[in-house]
Structure 1
Amino acid sequence: MEEKKVNIRIASPEDAEKLLAIYAPYVEHTAITFEYEVPSLLEFRERICHVLEKYPYLAAEVDGQIAGYAYVGVFHDREAYDWCVETSIYVDQSCRKMGIGGKLHHALEEVLKLQGILNLNACIAYPEEEDEYLTKNSVEFHRHLGYDMVGEFHNCGYKFDRWYHMVWMEKMIGEHRSGQDFPKNFPQIREEAESILSKL
């Protein structure tokens, strides 16, 4: 079977309905996200706008249809953490095993490097034993991408009448040095990011 081309572009608030359709099943049927209720379309659109004020929010398209998305958020509010972000990736459940998650993450890394981000942190729900709501696949996915396990919090997430652990994984994508420049906000490097994405 011929591998389908995955195009990565910057998402926009107008994509909110399609992105929310991808996210909603994760809320309703999995413990991958600890969110209980599917956000409204308005709230989800506002989340996209908020991310784009500072960070990239990317969409993956296959045959012109959005099949996944990735974005980052603040790791911690204080300035000393400005070089660190928390990553999130969601792929349409009908489009798994197509390499979309890996391609989204690669694109995300390239854009974050432009900004001057150094540390990628992934907060991942983790089961004591795999069940119908949560497997250990996300940890394996991040390991494959070069993340290392750096911490585990026990029985800290409660969903579907059961308790889940949460783990932190980390990947370094830049050099840590003295005299470090502060990262740029995404709008400052957007044009360069669009150029890079067009070549991936």
Structure 2
Amino acid sequence: MSDITIRNATLADAPRILEIYAYYVEHTVITFEYDVPSLAEFEGRMRAIMQKYPYLVIERDGRIEGYAYAHAFVGRAAYDWAAELTIYLDHDVRRGGLGRVLYEALADQLKAMGVLNLYARIGYPQAEDEYLTKNSAQFHEHLGFTPAGTFHNCGYKFGRWYDMIWMEKIIGEHRPDQPDIVPYPY
């Protein structure tokens, strides 16, 4: 039986997290990023997210197998109760249940902060190919996300056009006297 741990990411984890992400940049349209960022740039991205939101890693037997984080949905104060989520697993460990466990842990942390709406921005193929399938949308749907919108032919990578969809999940009650969210404690 494997030992599974979810914990806060640290900058010391950045090389392994970047290694996981690099596969998706170089071989898929799961991210529309063309070039793998430098370690310094990636650490800067992590630092910015960690100022307010959770950035989690999942380990199996002491090895980081994936990561997930939340970040500002739009970046204006009126949207503080909404967060966009991102998740990546090592490409060799997908479909083993780690993604669900990690995403649910992230949602629990966000709910504790007072976040009410979760959003996922997902590359979506008009026809599945070697770079992009509908797996991410199906994963989110399985976790209770519903479609919120489609942007047609908005992403271009590997010489092909791809759609992008937004999916959402409501995890809290919307009130007229909504308390402020509490930044994630690190």
**1:90 maps onto 2:88 in alignment:** yes
Segments of 5+ residues of structure 2 without an aligned counterpart are none
1:193 paired residue number: none
The whole-number CA distance in structure 2 between the counterparts of 1:6 and 1:127 is: 32
2:14 maps to: 16
Partner of 1:25: 23
Q: 2:68 aligns with which of 70, 73, 92?
A: 70
Secondary structure of 2:149's aligned partner: strand
Question: How many Å apart are 1:11 and its aligned residue?
Answer: 0.3
Structure 1: tracts of 5 or more residues without a match: 191-200
Amino acid of the structure 1 residue aligned with 2:70: V
Contact 1:6 1:60 in 2 (8 A): yes
Q: Deviations over 1:29-60 (max 9, x none)?
A: 00000000000001111111111100000000
d(CA) in 1 for partners of 2:113 and 2:10? 19
TM-score, length of structure 2 as denominator length: 0.98
Matched, 1:170 2:168: yes
Give a deviation string over 1:131-182, Cα, whole Å, max 9, x none. Answer: 0000000000000000000100000000000000000000011110110011
Larger helix fraction of residues: 1
- Pick the aligned partner of 2:150 from 152, 156, 165: 152
CA offsets 1:59-106 (integer angstroms, 9 cap, x no match): 000010000000011111111111001000000011112211101111
Identity between Structure 1 and Structure 2 (%)? 55
Quick one: distance in 2 between partners of 1:6 and 1:48? 22
Structural RMSD (CA): 0.8
Q: Kindly provide the amino acid, as one letter, of the partner of residue 150 in structure 2.
A: E
Q: 1:195 aligns to what?
A: none
Match of 1:50, SS state, is helix
Deviations 1:98-145 (CA, angstroms, capped at 9, x unpaired):
211101111001110111000000000000000000000000000000
Whether the 8 Å CA contact 1:68–1:90 is kept in 2: the answer is yes
**Number of residue-to-residue matches in the alignment:** 186
In structure 2, how many angstroms separate the alpha carbons of the residues matched to 1:43 and 1:7? 27
Q: State the one-letter code of the partner of 2:158.
A: F
On the 8 A contact 1:150/1:168 being kept in 2, the answer is: yes
Give TM-score scaled by structure 1 length.
0.91
**Distance (Å, rounded) in 2 between the aligned partners of 1:77 and 1:140:** 27
Q: Given the alignment of the two structures, is residue 107 of structure 1 paired with residue 105 of structure 2, yes or no?
A: yes
Equivalence for 1:52: 50
The ranges of structure 1 where at least 4 consecutive aligned residues each deviate by more than 2 angstroms after the TM superposition are none
2:35 aligns to what?
A: 37
Is 1:13–1:46's contact at 8 Å kept on the other side of the alignment? Answer: no
